[in-house]
Structure 1
Amino acid sequence: MTAHSVPLFLWLVIALCCAAACHATLAALAFPGLRGTAGTPRVGDMPGPVSVLKPLCGIEPRLYSNLQTFCTQSHPSYQLLFGVASADDPAAGVVERLMRAFPNHDIELVIDGTAHGSNRKVANLINLAARAKHDVIVIADSDIAVEPDYLVRVTEPLADADVGVVTCLYRARRVGGFWSRIGALFIDEWFAPSVHVANVLGQNRFGFGATLALRRDTLAKVGGFVALRDCLADDYWLAEHARAHGLRTVLSDVVVATDVIERDLAALWSRETRWLRTIRSLNPLGFACLCLTFTTPWLLTSALLGLGFEHGTDPAQTIADTIVDLSTSLGLSARLLLHARSARSWRAFWRDLPLIPLRDLLMWLQWLSASFGSSVVWRGVRIPLDAPGQRYDANASDSQ
Structure 2
Amino acid sequence: MRYSRLSTSEEPPVPLDPTAESTPGVSILRPLRGLDCNLFENLEASFRQDYRKFEIIFSVADEADSAIPIVKELCARYPNVPSKLIIGQEIVGVNPKINNLIRAYRAASYDLIWVLDSNVLTSETCLSRSVPLIEPASSSSSSALNGSSARPIGLVHHLPFAIYPDTLVGSRVEQVYLCSTHAKMYLAINRVAVASCVTGKSCLYRKSDLARASALKRERGKLPLPPPGLAGTDEAGLAAFGQYLGEDNEIGVAIWEELGMRHAMGVEVAGNAVGSMTFTKYFRRRVRWIRVRKYMVTASTLVEPLTECLLAGLLGSFAFRHLFSIPTWVFLPAQTFAWYYLDSALYKALLPASPARSTVTRPPAHDGPGFGYFQAWAVRELLALPIWLFAMMGDTVGWRDEGTVYRVQRDGSVRALREGEEEAWIERAWATVSTRYLGSRKGYVTIIPGDVEDGRAPAHADSR
Fold match, TM over 0.5? yes
Q: Equivalent residue for 2:346?
A: 341
User: Is residue 262–residue 268 contact of structure 1 (8 Å, CA) maintained in 2?
Assistant: no
TM-score scaled by structure 2? 0.69
Number of residue pairs matched by the alignment: 351
Please point out which of 370, 385, 398 is paired with 1:350.
370
Q: Equivalent residue for 2:273?
A: 259
d(CA) in 1 for partners of 2:212, 2:374: 47
Please point out which of 158, 172, 182 is paired with 1:181.
172
The residue identity in structure 2 corresponding to 1:276 is: I
Please point out which of 237, 244, 252 is paired with 1:224.
237
d(CA) in 1 for partners of 2:344, 2:22: 36
2:97 is aligned with 1:121: yes
User: Is residue 23–residue 52 contact of structure 2 (8 Å, CA) maintained in 1?
Assistant: no
Change (3 A) 1:365 1:298: same
Q: Equivalent residue for 1:204?
A: 195
Q: Equivalent residue for 1:398?
A: none
How much has 1:231 moved relative to structure 2? 1.2
Identity %: 21
- In structure 1, runs of 5+ residues without a counterpart are 1-28, 310-316, 392-400
d(CA) in 2 for partners of 1:286, 1:164: 23
Q: Deviations for 1:44-69, whole angstroms, at most 9, x for unmatched residues? A: 69760110111111221311111011
d(CA) in 2 for partners of 1:361, 1:42: 45
User: Is residue 45–residue 159 contact of structure 1 (8 Å, CA) maintained in 2?
Assistant: no
Q: Equivalent residue for 2:124?
A: 148
Please point out which of 31, 40, 47 is paired with 2:14.
40
Q: Deviations for 1:125-178, whole angstroms, at most 9, x for unmatched residues? A: 211112111121111111000101111112221213822111111110133113
- In structure 2, runs of 5+ residues without a counterpart are 140-151, 214-235, 352-361, 415-464
2:393 is aligned with 1:383: no
Change (3 A) 1:158 1:340: closer
d(CA) in 2 for partners of 1:52, 1:387: 33
Q: SS where residue 165 of structure 1 aligns?
A: strand
Residues 63-74 of structure 1 aligned to structure 2 (within 5 Å): 63-74=39-50
Q: Deviations for 1:246-297, whole angstroms, at most 9, x for unmatched residues? A: 1111122221200113432111111122122222121122111110122035
Q: Equivalent residue for 2:76?
A: 100
Residues 1-400 of structure 1 aligned to structure 2 (within 5 Å): 32=6, 40-43=14-17, 48-160=24-136, 162-179=152-169, 180-222=171-213, 223-243=236-256, 244-299=258-313, 302=316, 317=322, 319-322=323-326, 329=334, 332-343=337-348, 344=351, 348-351=368-371, 352-379=373-400, 380=402, 381-386=404-409, 390=413
The residue identity in structure 2 corresponding to 1:32 is: L
User: Is residue 156–residue 205 contact of structure 2 (8 Å, CA) maintained in 1?
Assistant: yes
Change (3 A) 1:229 1:159: same
Tell me whether 76-85 or 47-56 shows the greater mean CA deviation.
47-56
Q: Equivalent residue for 1:9?
A: none
Q: SS where residue 337 of structure 1 aligns?
A: helix
Change (3 A) 1:327 1:46: farther
Q: SS where residue 67 of structure 2 aligns?
A: helix
Change (3 A) 1:390 1:297: closer
Change (3 A) 1:360 1:389: closer
User: Is residue 313–residue 335 contact of structure 2 (8 Å, CA) maintained in 1?
Assistant: no
d(CA) in 2 for partners of 1:38, 1:257: 19
The residue identity in structure 2 corresponding to 1:208 is: T
Q: SS where residue 129 of structure 2 aligns?
A: helix
d(CA) in 2 for partners of 1:258, 1:302: 34
RMSD: 3.0
Structure number with greater Rg is 1
How much has 1:219 moved relative to structure 2? 2.3
Q: Equivalent residue for 2:232?
A: none
d(CA) in 1 for partners of 2:272, 2:81: 24
Q: SS where residue 226 of structure 1 aligns?
A: helix
Higher relative contact order (CA 8 A, sep 6+): 1
How much has 1:387 moved relative to structure 2? 7.6
- The structure with the greater share of residues assigned to helix is 1
User: Is residue 174–residue 181 contact of structure 1 (8 Å, CA) maintained in 2?
Assistant: no
d(CA) in 1 for partners of 2:125, 2:276: 29
